[in-house]
Structure 1
Amino acid sequence: MTASLRIWRRMTMPDPVRVHRYQSLPEQGPKVLFFSGGSALNKISRVFKQYSHHSVHLVTPFDSGGSSARLRAEFDIPAVGDLRSRLMALADETVMGQPEVYDLFTHRLAQDAEPQVLKDQLQQLVVGEHPLISQIPNPMKALIQTQLGVTQTRIHDEFDLRGASIGNLIMAGGYLNNQQQLDPIVFLFSRLIKALGEVKTTLDASLHLGVELDSGEIVLGQHRITGKETCDLPSPIKRMWLNQGLRKVNPTNRHIADDRQDAIESADLICYPPGSFYSSLLANLLPEGVGQAICANPNPKVYLPNLGVDPEQFGLSLMERIRRLIMTVMADVKTTPVQGASALDYVLLDDSYDYGELDEIALAELNVTLVKTTLITDNAHKYDEKCVVQALLSFV
């Protein structure tokens, strides 16, 4: 007979002993799970792999802007851009050919080139003659050519290649070449680049985001929410849901796969990291089963808030964001949580940055503890990736 026990210890922040241990043996490092969408976590991820090769990154597949939008419209596929960029951040940089693969996957075709010029460049890539692919060793080169060839064959003649991400075109071909599933091609590329961590979409489904504003206005599509491709939202976000398509309000949902559920339930630490508050963070918590799995995990859950201005946080204090984070997780909990279950345990803050006023009495009622340490080391008001990683590792 086995029993699950929760053990408490005195925590040092940062903990140099634990940090040194993980840095000395990253292959035995802890399993830290990040709910993360966009590029905000990529720099932290590149540092984190020096301390643990067992991080898990659940990224959102709901991006509907830029070149991702054109691929999604063409093939009705999940967004692959965040998946691709996180894989590159976790790649083992000592593997032969890795710089060339990184350059290829992060390259974008020219925004102002003629259509035929772009088609010719894609053809050069498919046949292996383009400078970006010619130096990549086999079998990786052949695999990339195969996936690009699938994409090239399937896109229509008028497909707009301007600004297209080569990495996204490769991932799209892999999706189409594997029975419209992302997991097989992600697994394959993870092995080839020797990713020092695991990256998956929270859902392997082609869905979009919908929000209702405090004003009553409905907005469909991640690209219209972030403020990056359109004007900032005129009113704070009231609620968000997963939507089928972009033409009309059609709320839907899917249950996460068993492997995602197992990853969440077994993580040594769950981190809600910096990123667009709704489209990168809370969007990851919407699929059915996510909140239940979080609350089934007795290990620490840590929220590291954004710095600076996030248009999606318009009208939301840090205290309100904490409440909404907890509410989003708990909305999925269909049964009475087991004793000790939690959606959030700690809020990790820099000890000198002004995040706004926090109600410590209300936090105590939510069973949330503030942890302050040095996370910013210059005047740029950006997190120091090494400080963040070492602080997170001190929790486990």
Structure 2
Amino acid sequence: MDIPTGFLPMLAPRLSPPTSAARWRVTALGGGHGLSASLQALRSLDAELTAVVTVADDGGSSGTLRQEFGVLPPGDLRMALAALCDDTEWGRTWADVMQHRFTTLPDSPGTMDQHALGNLLIVALWEMMGDPVDGLRWAGSLLGARGTVLPMSLAPLTIHGNVLTQLDGGGLSTRRIVGQSALAIAAQAGTVSDVTLEPEDAAGTPQALAALEAADWNILGPGSWYTSVLPHLLLPDVRRALEDSPARTLVTMNLQTHTTETNGMDAAAHLDLLGRYAPGLVIDAVLADPSSVEDESRFRAAAERLGARVFFDRVSVRSGEPVHDQLRLAAAYRDVFETFETTGS
């Protein structure tokens, strides 16, 4: 699709290339609130940013649009775009617009209830452009996003996983759960294992694979470990790109380890899970808030098995809530990057 002439004056400043090279090229992988947290931190650094976003969501507004239009689930992509908006009046306004959800009248059919406006905008651009990557580029230009947002695959993906639960009589039961939203619910009552993607041989988005290859740093996490972080290691193209990339790899730990998806798993078990699903991936650094690590020696041993150095830093908000502080996380990322520049290892 040709660029409408009338849009050029409005979008030209946002489509212009940066005037100078960024200090770091960073590719952040994930989805949902976790990826949003890392992007909000990274956008304040002197970095050229690319977000590679999981496309396995099948619930809520995203799930409805995916089912009715046969498109990629736009929700996590929308959140990444909103996170990359500048902290200006323009950026804050458009971030709020993208995140706005409609609330329909109680006596209405409710077909638009809780749809996010940003999801509808992204799907509209996809229909107009005929290309998900091009549509996201236009959305980013409109928002003035400080970076590029890409889907990990151009094929909508479905997560499968086993959930082991304890029966009332004391026995154990294993169920195979299909779908991200169903898996997140089932995980509340059991232990997740044997996670796979369908189609298992889906191709990675070429631009995303190129970004992983060209980066100085590739960052995994924070986020829902099984449904936002792990999918990038389950897709063969993305896993191989991470393994083969000359970039360093950093894992950002969650502030809470005992979530609905990872009940009973400590911080060390989170790292062991990455090693189990991607044994060929060398992790260079692991960043963790001290409050999230129950057993430091066990955690350091798990990081060492992955080849990683551990960096402890207070990255949560001062209130103590399990929420990343944008400035603290940005400073922690900068310290990790500079430490490797200084030491060379």
Q: TM over 0.5: same fold? A: yes
Partner of 1:241: 196
Counterpart-to-counterpart distance in 2, 1:162 and 1:176: 22
Letter in 2 for 1:83: L
Match of 1:364 among 297, 301, 304: 304
1:324 Cα deviation (Å)? 1.6
- 8 Å contact 1:273–1:305 — kept in the other structure? yes
1:81-114 per-residue CA deviation (whole Å, 9 max, x = no partner) reads: 111121122123447x545433332211114444
Kindly tell me: are residues 43 and 362 of structure 1, through their superposed partners in 2, closer, same or farther at Cα, counting changes over 3 Å? closer
Q: 1:127-152 deviations in whole A, cap 9, x for unaligned? A: xxxxxxxxxxxxxxxxxxxxxxxxxx
Tell me the residue number matched to 1:345. 284
Letter in structure 2 aligned against 1:162: D
Rate the CA distance shift 1:358–1:238 in 2: closer, same or farther, 3 A: farther
C-alpha contact 1:270 1:301 (8 A) present in aligned 2: yes
> Could you say which residue in structure 2 is the equivalent of 1:393?
334
Structure 1 pair 286/352, CA: closer, same or farther in 2 (3 Å)?
closer
Aligned to 2:60: 66
2:341 counterpart residue number:
none
Displacement after TM superposition at 1:72 (Å):
1.3
Aligned equivalents of 1:78 and 1:232: distance in 2? Answer: 24
Relative to structure 1, the CA distance from residue 190 to residue 373 in structure 2 (aligned partners, 3 Å threshold; closer, same or farther) is same
User: Secondary structure at 1:389's aligned position in 2?
Assistant: helix
Given the alignment of the two structures, is residue 292 of structure 1 paired with residue 245 of structure 2, yes or no?
no
Within a 5 Å distance, the mapping from 1:208-223 to structure 2 comes to 208-214=158-164, 215-223=173-181
| TM-score, reference length from structure 1 | 0.71
Return the alpha-carbon distance in structure 2 between the equivalents of residues 27 and 226 of structure 1: 41
Question: 1:126 is matched with which residue?
Answer: none
Q: Which amino acid aligns with 1:80?
A: P
Shift of 1:362: 5.1
Helix, strand or coil for the counterpart of 1:298? coil
Out of 130, 133, 136, the residue aligned to residue 186 of structure 1 is 136
1:151-193 CA-to-partner distances (Å, cap 9, x unmatched) read xxxxxxxxx21111111111112222333x3111101121222
TM-fit CA distance, 1:49: 1.4
Mapped contact 1:113–1:162 kept (Cα < 8 A): no
53 and 27 in structure 1: CA distance in 2 versus 1, 3 angstrom threshold: farther
The SS at the match of 1:225 is: helix
- Where is the strand percentage greater, Structure 1 or Structure 2? 2
Q: Who is 2:103 aligned against?
A: 110
| 3-state SS in 2 of match to 1:41 | helix
- Matched residue, 2:86: 92
- Specify whether residues 377 and 174 from structure 1 end up closer, same or farther in structure 2 by C-alpha distance, changes over 3 A only: closer
Q: Could you say what secondary structure the match of 1:293 adopts?
A: helix
- Helix, strand or coil for the counterpart of 1:210? strand
Q: Say if 1:26 and 1:52, in contact at 8 Å, map to a contact too.
A: no
CA displacement at 1:325 relative to structure 2: 0.8
Q: Deviations over 1:57-76 (max 9, x none)?
A: 11111111111121111112
2:314 matched to which residue of 1? 374
Give the residue type in structure 2 aligned to 1:391.
A
Separation in 1 of the partners of 2:306 and 2:187? 31
- Would the aligned equivalents of 1:91 and 1:195 in 2 still touch at CA under 8 Å? yes
Q: Distance in 1 between matches of 2:304 and 2:93?
A: 50
Preserved contact between residue 272 and residue 302 of structure 2 (Cα < 8 Å):
no
Among 252, 270, 274, the residue aligned to 1:304? 252
Contact 1:86 1:199 (8 Å CA) reproduced: yes
- Give 1:57's match in structure 2, choosing from 48, 51, 61: 51
Q: How is 1:318-329 mapped onto 2 (pairs within 5 angstroms)? A: 318-329=267-278
RMSD, matched Cα = 2.5
2:294 equivalent among 340, 347, 355? 355
Runs of at least 5 residues in structure 2 that lack an aligned partner in the other structure:
1-18, 165-172, 338-345
> Is contact 1:90-1:195 (8 Å) kept?
yes
Instruction: State the structure with more CA Rg.
Output: 1
Amino acid across the alignment from 2:216:
D
Tell me which amino acid in the other structure corresponds to 2:159: L
| Matched residue, 2:214 | 266
Indicate the structure whose relative CO is greater, using CA pairs within 8 Å and at least 6 residues apart: 1
Cα distance change, pair 172–115 in 1 and its aligned pair in 2 (3 A): farther
Which amino acid in the other structure matches residue 274 of structure 2? L
Is 1:207 matched up with 2:157?
A: yes
- 1:344–1:164 distance in 2 versus 1, CA, 3 Å: same
